[in-house]
Amino acid sequence: MRFAEIKRTQKNPQNPDSPPVFFNRMTNEQSTPSISQTSQQLRNQRPPESPQRPSKIARADGGDFSDIIEEEEEEEERELVEMNPRTQRYLVAVEYIGTRFFGAQKQFTCRTVVGVLEDAFQKFIGQPVSIFCSSRTDAGVHALSNVCHVDVERISKRKPGEVLSPHEPTVVKRAVNHFLQKNGGDMMVIDVKCVPSDFHARYKALERTYFYRLSSGKEPLSTFEKDRTWHVPEELGLLAMQKACQVLVGRHDFSSFRASGCQAKSPVRTLEELNVTEVASSMYFPSKLEREQSYCATTSSVSISNNLQVDSTPIAGTSNQLTETSEGGVVQEFGARKRQRCFVVTARARSFLYHQVRLLVGVLKSVGTGDLTVCDVERILEAKDVSAASPMAPASGLYLGHVKYDLPSDA
């Protein structure tokens, strides 16, 4: 008959603050519990979650994810992360076209940014990894630079179990991009940096910048711009939109620009920057007239400013294939598409509420079309109710532009 091993604890009378000693009655052996055993015991002693407590819903934020999460959740996540001294943590910046991604956060049944990136890393190093993003963009939202971190342990393929020195960042970038191009080619690593093991891509972010593109004009949206911008058939008033931005910038209660389902504790946010800029369309090619002017500017003895004075201001809504007539006018050539006016809304803050950027753009667009006034924007902000705001802008025009960090030096 086998007897269960019976243990009792015994304090050291010489040093009461020392860890308890486990005494085995069967073998008369003493042992001190390891740190990992003690940590596991403490975790097991945690009270179970209350059944009334709502489960955490995994969601994407379309650039509007609040970085200020409940303190309890942050503490739990940090405690459960086991630091492996044999791994190297990399900070990885990626760009992607969000059209075919169902958001950034990993989902087991859908194609996501994290899922595709983890798959590429696994093919590179031969073992699974966990990737944590700075911003959980929504389905259809693009990124010029979304930052994440990943821990990689380099194991020898010739001698299994032998840990080698970490890969250089340039090697990681080149290898992961190789596998990304085989999986749709709509995402690419643009930068990699070695960081300390406690550097977190999400919690260490100081600032996030988002861009939103709008195309204004009666002409149908170009095929090349599909799912890259929000097409607004009406003309947009730039000055009115800029005045509305002045009302919204700063520290406010943005409850009117907070979608249902937002898990942030407070609706108060500080919007460091919000403005609208008119820019050239992304698919811009010089017309014949512009090419001739450019040629004259480089060959003529007249100053460049004088040569370009004739066409120094873009002609809104005109074609990029223009021909000068004998009478001195300009006509559009057959088969050429008319240009649309392109606007970019820039929003910069440490954190955003759920769908905050897209709700802000929806109101600014209504101001640009004349459906709302600047006074209406003030009323919507003071209402502190999302039902008072205009319809939310679609995801296709939103871009995560930049995530700012106070990065450690390479030395």
| Active-site residue (options: 61, 67, 138, 186) | 138
Q: What is the pLDDT of residue 90?
A: 97
Q: CA–CA separation, 14 vs 12, rounded Å?
A: 5
Q: Can you say whether residue 66 is alpha, beta or left, with left for phi > 0 and alpha for psi between -120 and 50 degrees? A: beta
Q: What are the two backbone dihedrals, phi and then psi, of residue 324, each rounded to the nearest 5 degrees?
A: -85, 130
Q: Of how many residues is the chain composed?
A: 411
State yes or no: is 138 an active-site residue. yes
Q: Would you tell me how many other CB atoms lie within 10 Å of the CB of residue 349?
A: 22
pLDDT in tens, the chain (411 residues): 444 444 444 555 455 455 554 444 444 444 444 444 444 454 444 444 444 444 443 444 444 434 444 444 444 444 444 556 688 999 999 999 999 999 999 998 999 999 999 999 999 999 999 999 999 999 999 999 999 999 999 888 888 778 889 999 999 999 999 999 999 999 999 999 999 999 999 999 999 999 999 999 999 999 999 999 999 999 999 999 999 999 999 999 999 999 988 888 999 999 999 999 999 887 778 777 878 888 887 776 544 444 444 443 443 444 455 555 666 666 667 887 888 899 999 999 999 999 999 999 999 999 999 999 999 999 999 999 999 999 999 999 999 999 999 997 764
Q: CA–CA separation, 122 vs 111, rounded Å?
A: 16
Burial string for 225-241 (b: 16+ CB within 10 Å, else e) reads beebbbbbeeebbeebb
Contact criterion met (CB below 8 Å) for 20 and 8? no
Tell me 163's DSSP state: B
Q: What is the pLDDT of residue 76?
A: 44
The label of the residue with tokens 């194991």 reads 155
Contact criterion met (CB below 8 Å) for 403 and 147? yes
Q: What is the pLDDT of residue 63?
A: 46
Q: What is the pLDDT of residue 156?
A: 82
Give the tokens for residue 384. 């502190």
